[in-house]
Structure 1
Amino acid sequence: MKYLFRKYKNVIRFILTFLLVYVILSLTYKFYLEFSDGAKFYPDYMTHLVGRQTELLLSDFGYDVQVVPHPDEPSLKVIINTKYVARIVEGCNAVSVIILFISFIMAFSGRLKETLMYILSGSVMIYVVNLLRITVLTIGLYHYPWRQEVLHTVIFPAIIYGMVFFLWMIWVNYFVKLNRRND
């Protein structure tokens, strides 16, 4: 057994680090959601921010848009030309995806400065791609409402998770090359 632990030490360390960071960040986010001020920023600050930025992007694309609190559930209604098109819920704000991204990078971390810079820049990229994803999804739902299922459950999750996978692959290749140079 001791031999196996030594042999797979790096794999075990990766898994434990990933799980530890993921649990800590997820619990922190859960507490944030629990104690966020829904009266000021509905349903929570991050979802509210994504809603406002989506509204600005849709306006920039020339749509008459309103993003308003949903009266029956903790979400924001996206209304284009007086037509209720979509809702933005807490899961749309990309925080959970960013937590997953950060957990992987921390588990496969390199030097502190490069790791922190990559986490910051990758998180910003994920957030921006998510905003564009929501904006394009909303436009798609407005023009092609009969394509809702494929747009929402296949194409647009593939965009955000594809982005995360792409960033992971860049990091792994960068990190491996960095370690080879340092050996």
Structure 2
Amino acid sequence: MKDFLPVLKILVRFVVLYIVLVLLYQFYLNSYAEEVVDPFTRNVAEQVASFQSLVGFPTVLVDSMKLHSVLFQTFGKFTTRMVEGCNVISVAILFSAFVFAFYKGTKTFLYVLGGLILLHILNVFRIVLLNIIYLKYPKYEKIGHDYVFPAIIYGGVVMLWLVWIQFFALRKKK
């Protein structure tokens, strides 16, 4: 049993932190249940719309209380809609819990902060590209939404995890 103690500690740390973060996030979401979307989701939608407009795809946001989402309208056409699940927080919680499970002091906080910023940027680009696909290449909507773009965001998380494990968590102190 002594051999499994380090693994058990990591697993317990991950599970406890994951549950706490999920509960805090749910509490946050519940406080905005009467809104179209929560403020962070709206902020992500605004960043996507701004970036799309910057790269030549002028976009306006349209609130839909019925769908609890913000719709992207580009060139007068609705492309996709921004819902809470698209804001990358759920993925960020998973990422953070895993990294903190292998806690290595201050660098853990710095790595998580950098990783969260990177995941957020990756997510904004992912949604922008998805909207462009919906607008320009509608026959690729399903494969883009269901396979390619989830692979991008989850692939980013896995790459960050691998870097954390390889270069920080398992690195022996000299």
TM-score by length of 2: 0.95
Runs of 4+ in structure 1 displaced over 6 angstroms?
A: none
What percent identity do the matched residue pairs reach? Answer: 32
Q: Which range moves more in the overlay, 98-107 or 142-151?
A: 142-151
Matched, 1:107 2:101: yes
Mind listing any 5+ residue stretches in structure 1 that lack a counterpart?
A: none
**Aligned-pair distance for 1:60?**
0.5
Aligned to 2:25: 29
**Alpha-carbon separation, structure 1, partners of 2:43 and 2:115:** 19
Aligned to 1:149: 142
Matched, 1:49 2:21: no
Aligned to 1:132: 125
| SS of aligned partner of 1:68 | strand
**Aligned-pair distance for 1:176?**
4.3
Task: Select the residue among 6, 9, 23 that pairs with 1:13.
Answer: 9
**Aligned-pair distance for 1:148?**
1.2
Question: Amino acid of the residue matched to residue 14 of structure 1?
Answer: I
**Which has the higher Rg, Structure 1 or Structure 2?**
1
**Alpha-carbon separation, structure 2, partners of 1:74 and 1:106:** 32
CA contact (8 A) 2:49 2:58 kept: no
CA contact (8 A) 1:51 1:76 kept: yes
| SS of aligned partner of 1:79 | strand
Mind listing any 5+ residue stretches in structure 2 that lack a counterpart?
A: none
| Cα displacement string for residues 67-110 of structure 1 (whole angstroms, at most 9, x for unaligned residues) | 11114111010111111111010000000000000000010111
| SS of aligned partner of 2:80 | strand
Computed over aligned residues only, the root mean square deviation of the Cα atoms, in angstroms, reads: 1.3
| Cα displacement string for residues 9-42 of structure 1 (whole angstroms, at most 9, x for unaligned residues) | 1111111110000000000000000013755xx4
Aligned residues: 174
- Listed as ranges, the matches of 1:141-180 within 5 Å are 141-176=134-169, 178=171, 180=172
